[in-house]
C-alpha cells in the first residue's frame, strides 16, 4: 500500500497542517491501495506562498534551461513507467495493456514536447514600432481529474512550467498517487524550490482555498461542468484567468455512404475507451433511419466482445469504473434510459454476474434513443452508447449540436471531403474524420459548456502566457 503522509511544498516534503487523511481505493478490488493527506487552507496558503516566491526567478530563467528541467522530468517518468502504469490501472481501472501507452505514455510525451517547445518558441516579435513580448501569467493552480490523471496533470504542469509559470497542483483525491510519484520525479530532477508544489485534498476545501487565493494569477481546471461553474464563480472575485476543460456529449455522425461496419466499430471503441470515462467519448451514434437495424446489430455484437474484468491480471478489454459513486451514477443512467423507453440492445444496470467485487458495469448499448432524452443529453461517463436515427444531413447536424456541450465528435462518410463538409458545421472543438486518430499535439478543448481555452501543443502553452507591448519612438525622417 502506498501511504503518503507529506505534501510537496517549496522543494521539500513537509508534514501537512491537519491530521485528516483520504483513502485511495483500488477500483477492481474495492480495497484501500493507498492513503494521502487531506490538505486544508493552511497548506494551500503555504504552497501559493512558495510558488509566488519562486516566480520572479523561474520566469526569468532562460527558456532553454526550463526545457532542460522538463527533459529531466520526462526521463524520470519514463524510468518509472511500469510503476505508474500499475498505479493508475489500480486507481482508475483502465486495463494495464492500455494504461501503459495511454495513461503513462501520453504524459511522458507531453513533458518531452514542452521541453523542446520552450527552446523553439517565438517569445518576442515586432509589430510596427512595438516589440511584442510573451511573458508567463504568474502563479498557476492546476486542478486535475481522475479519469486520465497523469495525462491531464502533464498537459497543464508541463505547459505552465515551460511558459515560466510556477505551479500548485491539486490532483483528484480519487486518483492522486500518480501525482506523488511525479512530485518525486520533479524533486529528483532538481527543479528549483517553489516552482512545483503538490497539495492533495478535496475540492471544497483545498481546491476552493487555492482558487480564491489573491496571489494566484490563473486556474486551469479539468472536470465536471458543475465544478467548472463553481470555480469560475470563486475566481471571479479576484478576476483570475480561468481555463476550463469540462464535460462532453460527443456525437459520431455516420452518413449514408460510410463504411458502416468500420464506422460502428470505431464509434463503439471511442465510446468504451477507459470504460467510457473519457470526456471526449463518442457516446451518441447518429445513423440514417434506413440503416438503423444493421447498425444496431453491429454495435451490440461489438459491445459484447468487450470482456469485463480485472485490469491488472486478466486480458479484459473493459475494466471497472474509478469509484463506487461513479458506478452508481452510471447504473442509474442505464435504468433511466430503460424507463424513458429506449431499446436496450445489450448490457443493463446489473453488475456482471461473475464480478461480485469491483466497480464494474456492463458495456451497454441503447437503440431508438430520442435526441432530447436524458441519456442523449447528459454526460454519463461510463460504457453506455446511445444510437439515434436521423432523416437527412441537416437533422443529423441539428441533433449533434443539440446539447449543452461541444467537446468532440466524429463524421464517417464515403470520402474525407464529404465528411469535412459536415464537420465544419459542428459546434465542437475536435472532429475525427473517418476514424482519424487523436493527435496529442493538436489543440484540445471545447465550445459552449464544454469549457474555455485549449490544451496541448503550442496552444496549450499560450494559455499560460500574457502579451506585453513595448512602444518605441520612431525617429523623425531627415
Under the banding of pLDDT at 50, 70 and 90, the label for residue 475 is confident
Given a cut of 80, whether residue 477 has pLDDT beyond it is no
95: in domain: yes
pLDDT digits (tens, 9 = 90+) for 116-175: 999 999 999 999 999 999 999 999 999 999 999 999 999 999 999 999 999 999 999 999
Under the banding of pLDDT at 50, 70 and 90, the label for residue 478 is low
- Same domain, yes or no, for 322 and 309? yes
Backbone dihedral angles phi then psi of residue 66, each to the nearest 5 degrees: -60, -40
- Say what the pLDDT of residue 353 is: 85
Give Rg (Cα) of the chain: 23
**Counting runs of H as helices and runs of E as strands, what totals does the chain give?**
16, 21
475: in domain: no
User: What cell was used for 420?
Assistant: 469535412
User: What cell was used for 169?
Assistant: 497542483
155: in domain: yes
As a three-state string, the secondary structure of 278-317 is: CCCCEEEEEEEHHHHHHHHHHHHHHHCCCCECCCCCCCCC
Q: Which residue has the cell 463553481?
A: 230
Under the banding of pLDDT at 50, 70 and 90, the label for residue 331 is very high
**pLDDT over 70, % of the chain:** 100
Under the banding of pLDDT at 50, 70 and 90, the label for residue 18 is confident
**pLDDT over 90, % of the chain:** 97
Given a cut of 80, whether residue 451 has pLDDT beyond it is yes
Q: Coil, strand, or helix at residue 127?
A: strand
- Same domain, yes or no, for 179 and 265? no
User: What CATH number is attached to the domain comprising 277?
Assistant: 3.40.309.10
283: in domain: yes
User: What CATH number is attached to the domain comprising 120?
Assistant: 3.40.605.10
Measure the CA–CA gap between 42 and 296, rounded to whole angstroms: 55
- Say what the pLDDT of residue 176 is: 98
Measure the CA–CA gap between 470 and 127, rounded to whole angstroms: 10
Under the banding of pLDDT at 50, 70 and 90, the label for residue 203 is very high
- Same domain, yes or no, for 255 and 234? no
| DSSP H or E stretch at residue 171 | none
pLDDT digits (tens, 9 = 90+) for 261-302: 999 999 999 999 999 999 999 999 999 999 999 999 999 999
13 with 7: CB under 8 angstroms? Answer: yes
| Closest to 369 measured CA to CA, from 337, 394, 334 | 337
- Same domain, yes or no, for 141 and 197? yes
- Same domain, yes or no, for 48 and 81? yes
pLDDT digits (tens, 9 = 90+) for 236-260: 999 999 999 999 999 999 999 999 9
242: in domain: yes
- Say what the pLDDT of residue 313 is: 82
- Say what the pLDDT of residue 147 is: 97
Given a cut of 60, whether residue 375 has pLDDT beyond it is yes
Under the banding of pLDDT at 50, 70 and 90, the label for residue 314 is confident
- Same domain, yes or no, for 433 and 349? yes
- Same domain, yes or no, for 159 and 181? yes
Backbone dihedral angles phi then psi of residue 24, each to the nearest 5 degrees: -105, 125
477: in domain: no
- Same domain, yes or no, for 177 and 163? yes
**What residues make up the domain containing 197?**
2-246+451-468
Q: What value does the mean pLDDT of the chain take?
A: 97
* DSSP conformational letter for 80: T
Query: Which residue numbers are catalytic?
Result: 245, 279
- Say what the pLDDT of residue 337 is: 98
- Same domain, yes or no, for 9 and 148? yes
- Same domain, yes or no, for 108 and 38? yes
446: in domain: no
- Same domain, yes or no, for 433 and 363? yes
473: in domain: no
Query: What's the mean pLDDT in 383-392?
Result: 98
Looking at the structure of the chain, the number of domains it has is 2
- Same domain, yes or no, for 242 and 260? no
Amino acid at each position: 500500500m502506498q501511504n503518503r503522509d507529506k505534501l510537496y511544498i517549496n522543494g521539500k516534503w513537509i508534514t501537512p497542517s491537519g491530521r485528516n487523511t483520504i483513502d485511495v481505493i483500488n477500483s477492481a478490488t474495492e480495497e484501500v491501495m493507498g492513503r494521502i493527506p487531506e490538505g486544508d487552507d493552511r497548506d494551500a496558503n503555504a504552497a501559493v506562498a512558495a510558488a509566488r516566491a519562486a516566480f520572479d526567478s523561474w520566469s526569468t530563467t532562460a527558456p532553454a534551461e526550463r526545457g532542460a528541467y522538463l527533459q529531466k522530468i520526462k526521463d524520470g517518468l519514463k524510468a518509472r513507467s511500469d510503476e505508474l502504469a500499475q498505479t493508475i490501472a489500480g486507481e482508475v481501472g483502465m486495463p494495464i495493456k492500455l494504461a501503459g501507452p495511454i495513461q503513462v505514455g501520453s504524459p511522458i510525451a507531453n513533458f518531452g514536447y514542452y521541453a523542446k517547445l520552450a527552446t523553439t518558441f517565438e517569445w518576442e516579435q515586432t509589430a510596427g514600432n512595438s516589440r511584442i513580448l510573451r511573458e508567463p501569467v504568474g502563479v498557476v493552480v492546476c486542478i486535475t481529474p481522475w479519469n486520465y490523471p497523469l495525462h491531464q496533470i502533464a498537459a497543464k504542469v508541463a505547459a505552465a512550467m515551460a511558459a515560466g509559470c510556477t505551479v500548485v497542483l491539486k490532483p483528484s483525491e480519487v486518483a492522486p498517487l500518480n501525482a506523488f510519484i511525479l512530485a518525486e520525479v520533479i524533486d529528483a530532477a532538481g527543479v528549483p524550490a517553489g516552482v512545483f508544489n503538490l497539495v492533495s485534498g478535496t475540492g471544497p476545501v483545498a481546491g476552493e482555498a487555492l482558487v480564491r487565493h489573491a496571489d494566484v494569477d490563473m486556474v486551469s481546471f479539468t472536470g465536471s461542468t458543475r465544478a467548472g461553474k463553481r470555480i469560475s464563480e470563486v475566481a471571479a472575485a479576484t478576476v483570475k484567468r480561468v481555463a476550463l476543460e469540462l464535460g462532453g456529449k460527443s456525437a459520431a455522425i455516420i452518413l449514408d455512404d460510410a463504411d458502416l461496419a468500420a464506422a460502428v466499430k470505431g464509434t463503439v471503441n471511442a465510446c468504451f475507451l477507459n470504460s467510457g470515462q473519457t470526456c471526449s467519448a463518442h457516446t451518441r451514434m447518429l445513423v440514417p433511419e434506413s440503416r438503423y437495424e444493421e447498425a444496431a446489430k453491429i454495435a451490440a455484437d461489438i459491445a459484447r466482445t468487450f470482456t469485463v474484468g480485472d485490469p491488472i491480471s486478466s486480458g479484459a478489454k473493459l475494466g471497472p469504473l474509478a469509484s463506487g459513486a461513479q458506478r452508481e451514477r452510471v447504473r442509474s443512467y442505464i435504468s433511466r434510459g430503460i424507463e424513458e423507453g429506449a431499446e436496450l440492445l445489450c448490457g443493463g444496470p446489473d453488475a456482471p454476474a461473475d464480478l461480485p467485487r469491483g466497480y464494474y458495469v456492463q458495456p451497454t448499448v441503447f437503440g431508438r434513443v430520442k435526441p432530447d432524452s436524458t441519456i442523449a443529453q447528459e454526460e454519463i461517463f461510463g460504457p453506455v452508447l446511445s444510437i439515434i436515427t436521423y432523416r437527412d444531413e441537416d437533422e443529423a447536424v441539428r441533433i449533434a449540436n443539440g446539447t449543452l456541450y461541444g467537446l468532440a465528435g466524429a463524421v464517417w462518410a464515403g470520402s474525407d471531403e464529404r465528411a469535412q463538409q459536415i464537420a465544419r458545421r459542428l459546434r465542437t472543438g475536435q472532429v475525427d474524420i473517418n476514424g482519424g486518430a487523436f493527435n496529442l499535439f493538436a489543440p484540445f478543448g471545447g465550445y459552449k459548456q464544454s469549457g474555455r481555452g485549449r490544451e496541448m501543443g503550442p496552444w496549450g502553452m499560450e494559455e499560460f502566457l500574457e502579451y506585453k507591448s513595448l512602444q518605441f519612438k520612431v525617429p523623425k525622417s531627415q
